Amino acid sequence: MAHESIVLLGVNHKKTPLEIREKLALNGYEEPLNRLRSLRGLKEYHLLSTCNRVEVLFACEEPEQMRAEVLDLLFAGRVSQEQLERCIYTHCGSEAVRHLFTVAASLDSMIVGEAQILGQLKEAYRHASELKTAGLILNRLLHKAFSTAKRVRTETRIGASAVSISYAAVELGRKIFGDLNGKRAMLVGAGEMAELAAEHLVGQGIAEVVVVNRTLERAVNLAARFKGRAVGLDELVEQLAETDILISSTGATGLVLHKQDVASIMPLRRNRPLFLIDIAVPRDLDPEINTLDNVYLYDIDDLNNVVEMNREQRDKEAIKARRIVEEETLKFMRWLETMEVTPTIVELHAVAESICRAELDKTLSRLSSLGDKERQAIERMASAITAKMLHHPLHYLKSEHICADRQERIAVVRSLFQLSGENGAADEPAA
């Protein structure tokens, strides 16, 4: 009997530079999935393509041959063979399962614990389902990946700790206000830090984002991304009256906001709390602002301390998460091993019952004087003998054995009982 292996091929941000990943990125899912249909050795397959990784997951009977064919079909000519072999990783069997679960649980992401990868994996699976390229094994495997990720989210706090400066800033805002829904945020500066902070703020339900920048055009462009407003730097103080959270990250060489500026607008705010985060180097905001009532000012050192503490906490949670991944990998491999022996078990039962039935029919046809009760007793006895005879072969198939792996054990049983694999019948013994 042929044995199907699970294989995962991929490149990711850890091993492969961006310029190579860009060349290997797949253009959508439908076209490459349909191209893979031409490889007759693939039983079922699934693709994942994100900015940080491209992975091909498949089940086949000839892993080495299919690895070469899949790589050639999807990536030939995009980069040199030498570059591809240097970047590509290959996982088979339990290693492939473990890697998939690790990815789904966001333990292999650039920011460990981020939730985006699970959504990307589900989206990729939707395409494989629609095109019917995932069969019995991969359907179950991918659903187990989703449930493993859910277990990690539920049983650990892997995603609860901010591990980037921008995210830490937003998390501090949540601690002060409790809930950011309906709050107004102002971004001073329109660089990458401001953009990341805006993404996190919008994700937390912020009502409005106002972008303040020396160059109004850049402020307009960033504000448009988040359906916000753009204003010039000379309107900064005026806008503070309606702001709850301010995140400043300009490239200015001096302070852009002084203590007296903030003090002047606090009466207009009726002393509502104002949360200020300065992630610029050198600082944008006057440190003396922190002496004002109901004003909370944090600088980049404060945030770095939060990030470092959270990183330590996240690393502890990652240990728990990896244990969950290991547990779920073992469970799936047990199911897969059961799937491998099931056809042989079914066939063995069918052969034994067929022999038992044939011998019973011969014997009972010569004992016409027996009543129904006696016939039933003989049939029960024959079935019990068959079951007892099969007990040890079945136990040998199902259990671990130090001298032979599962495939070897399956081959031994099939050879001993001359199982043909055709309609559950054994080969006719020689006369």
What was the pLDDT predicted at 176?
80
Q: What is the mean pLDDT of residues 50-59?
A: 91
Q: How confident is the model at residue 164 (pLDDT cuts 50, 70, 90)?
A: low
Catalytic member of 51, 92, 356, 403: 51
β-bridge pairing 245-248 and 419-422: unpaired
Contact 58, 48 (CB under 8 A): no
> Any catalytic annotation for residue 51?
yes
Contact 142, 59 (CB under 8 A): no
What was the pLDDT predicted at 403?
58
Contact 292, 259 (CB under 8 A): yes
DSSP code of residue 211:
E
Q: What is the pLDDT of residues 347-383, one digit of tens each?
A: 888 888 888 888 888 888 888 888 888 888 888 898 8
Contact 66, 41 (CB under 8 A): yes
Q: What is the pLDDT of residues 60-85, one digit of tens each?
A: 989 999 999 999 999 988 999 999 99
Q: What is the mean pLDDT of residues 4-22?
A: 89
Longest C-alpha distance within the chain, in Å? 115
> Is the model's pLDDT at 131 over the cut of 70?
yes
**CA terminus-to-terminus distance, the chain:** 26
Q: Which residue has the tokens 């997951």?
A: 57
What was the pLDDT predicted at 271?
76
What was the pLDDT predicted at 425?
47
What was the pLDDT predicted at 423?
43
In whole angstroms, give the CA distance from residue 158 to residue 105: 9
How big is the CA angle at 294 (ends 186 and 289), to the nearest 5 degrees? 70
Strand partners of residue 58: 7, 45
User: Is-cis flag, bond preceding 282, omega within 30?
Assistant: yes
User: Residue 222 is which amino acid?
Assistant: L
> Is the model's pLDDT at 166 over the cut of 80?
no
What was the pLDDT predicted at 262?
95
Contact 87, 15 (CB under 8 A): yes
Portion of the chain with pLDDT greater than 90, in percent: 42
Q: What is the pTM of this model?
A: 0.61
What was the pLDDT predicted at 430?
39
Q: How confident is the model at residue 323 (pLDDT cuts 50, 70, 90)?
A: very high
Q: What is the mean pLDDT of residues 36-58?
A: 92
User: Residue 158 is which amino acid?
Assistant: I
Tokens standing for residue 97: 């399962």
**In the β-sheet with 274-278, what is the strand arrangement from edge to edge?**
229-232, 208-213, 184-188, 245-248, 274-278, 295-299
CATH 3.30.460.30 fits 5-155, yes or no: yes
Tokens standing for residue 338: 């059961």
> Is the model's pLDDT at 426 over the cut of 60?
no
DSSP code of residue 41:
T
Contacts of 168 (CB under 8 A, 6+ apart): 162, 303, 306, 307, 310
Fold classification of 165-307 is Rossmann fold (3.40.50)
What was the pLDDT predicted at 274?
93
**Phi then psi for 62, rounded to 5 degrees?**
-125, 80
What is the residue extent of each domain of the chain?
5-155, 165-307, 343-426
What was the pLDDT predicted at 424?
44
Q: What b/e string do you get for 172-181 counting C-beta neighbours within 10 Å, with b at 16 or more? A: bbeeebeebe
Task: Report helix, strand or coil for 111.
Answer: coil
Tokens standing for residue 214: 């020396």
> Is the model's pLDDT at 147 over the cut of 70?
yes
Give 261-314 as a DSSP string: HHHHHTTTTTT--EEEEE--SS-SB-GGGGGSTTEEEEEHHHHHHHHHHHHHHH
What was the pLDDT predicted at 422?
53
Q: What is the mean pLDDT of residues 288-293?
A: 94
